[in-house]
Amino acid sequence: MNPYKPARIEWITFFAIAPVLVTMMNILLFGNRVAIHDILLYSFPAIFLYIFISWYLHVMVMHLLRLKYPLFNQTRKRILLLFSSHIFLTSSSLLLIFITYDHFHILGYHIDYSQIKWCLIISILLTLVATGSWEGSYIYQLWKESLREKELLQKRTLQNEFDALKSQVNPHFLFNSLNSLSSLIHENPKDAEKFLDEMSSVYRYILKNNELELSEIGTEISFIQSYYHLLKTRYTDGLNLKIEVNANLNEYLIPPLSLQILVENAVKHNIILREAPLHLLIKNIGNDWLVVSNNLQRKIAKVPSNKVGLKNIASKYKLLGKQDIIINETESEFSVQIPIIK
């Protein structure tokens, strides 16, 4: 937003109120003499120009406050500062007109303090009407923008859910999971039962995920442990996951399935062998970040990727008005930091 460019609603209110103020000011200044030729010729245009300058200052102050306090949840503070500054500007600018006209005896004017009182009351009321209409229009735009962002966030959530579900129910993954389950049934029925429980937990969580915009870290970690159990059954000693997240962060929030997407990306793009295991680490940095990192051992044949998962996570944080995710890559390690929402 350009703070020096008035909006359409601001121009409309100026041209609606300015003639009223100009006429009122001249009547209060000159009373029955208001229709005299010299007053019409000189005082009316001079006060119109003065009111235009004052109006423009009002608009600039309002725009600067919007730049400093742009959010919907900052509306109360913004309105309080806005009305305070506008009332001050209106009062001081009108008093300056009366004092200037009196000091220079413009067109024979002598100050009458009773006139100033009524002029200030009426002008402040008109200013409040104008300011209220400007701020009302701005709040309406914020409301429409918040609805649009909420809609986009819901779409991103559904897309994340779809991508996660698609990756889990694709024939390759499902075949491997069922094959692992079939082997366990014959070799170790207890482990097979646990594997089936974890598999059910994974699918149930993903299917319910579209109801959420944010999820507790504790819930996400429980889910990732179920998901890891499926991966561990398949890759055995080729895959290891370590979770070092403080328990006091469990009730803080992150976008749902964020950890799963990051773990899945690591598994998808790296070699996983018993002789060359993939080590995954999920940890917190203070109370502000979660980090998912892995040792880097990229597959020789690159797996096709459009990085949709990372883009979806980044888009969610952007729509929530939070910090961007941070991606770091060295010769030996790849990591992604995601902000913790408190």
- For residue 296, the one-letter residue type is L
Provide the pLDDT for residue 40: 87
Answer yes or no: do 104 and 72 share one domain.
Answer: yes
Answer yes or no: do 125 and 190 share one domain.
Answer: no
Answer yes or no: do 140 and 174 share one domain.
Answer: no
**pLDDT greater at residue 190 or residue 273:** 273
The last residue of one of the domains, among 93, 116, 148, is 148
Provide the domain count of the chain.
Answer: 2
- Across 188-195, average pLDDT: 74
CA 224-229-235 angle, to 5 degrees, is 120
Segment of 81-90, 178-187, 205-214, 245-254 carrying the highest mean pLDDT: 245-254
Instruction: Report the interhelical angle of 8-30 vs 113-169 (nearest 10°).
Output: 170
Residue 51 — φ and ψ, nearest 5°? -65, -35
Helices in the chain by DSSP H: which ranges?
A: 8-30, 37-38, 44-68, 75-103, 113-169, 171-187, 189-208, 217-235, 258-269, 308-319
Residue labelled with tokens 């996400």 = 220
Token pair in block for residue 85: 């500054």
Has residue 225 been placed in a domain? yes
Answer yes or no: do 202 and 142 share one domain.
Answer: no
Answer yes or no: do 177 and 98 share one domain.
Answer: no
Has residue 1 been placed in a domain? no
Q: Over the chain, what is the mean pLDDT? A: 83
Provide the pLDDT for residue 174: 59
Has residue 219 been placed in a domain? yes
Has residue 156 been placed in a domain? no
Instruction: Kindly report the CATH number assigned to the domain that includes residue 323.
Output: 3.30.565.10
Answer yes or no: do 322 and 187 share one domain.
Answer: yes
**pLDDT greater at residue 146 or residue 168:** 146
Provide the pLDDT for residue 218: 94
Three-state secondary structure string covering 50-92: HHHHHHHHHHHHHHHHHHHCCCHHHHHHHHHHHHHHHHHHHHH
Has residue 163 been placed in a domain? no
- Across 129-140, average pLDDT: 86
What's the pLDDT tens digit per position in 240-276? 999 999 999 999 999 888 898 898 889 888 999 999 9
Answer yes or no: do 182 and 298 share one domain.
Answer: yes
Token pair in block for residue 136: 């009302």
Answer yes or no: do 184 and 320 share one domain.
Answer: yes
The CA dihedral of 106, 107, 110, 115, to the nearest 10 degrees, is -100
Answer yes or no: do 193 and 266 share one domain.
Answer: yes
Q: Lowest-pLDDT range, 26-30, 236-240, 314-318?
A: 314-318
Has residue 39 been placed in a domain? yes
Has residue 154 been placed in a domain? no
Label residue 132 by pLDDT band (50, 70, 90). Answer: confident
Has residue 165 been placed in a domain? no
Enter the DSSP assignment of 36. Answer: S
Residue 123, CB half-sphere, CA atoms under 13 Å: how many? 27
What's the pLDDT tens digit per position in 69-92? 888 778 889 889 988 888 888 888
Q: Which domain holds residue 200?
A: 170-339
Partners of 282 in the beta sheet?
A: 243, 292
The last residue of one of the domains, among 83, 117, 148, is 148
Residue labelled with tokens 């305070």 = 84
The last residue of one of the domains, among 98, 114, 148, is 148
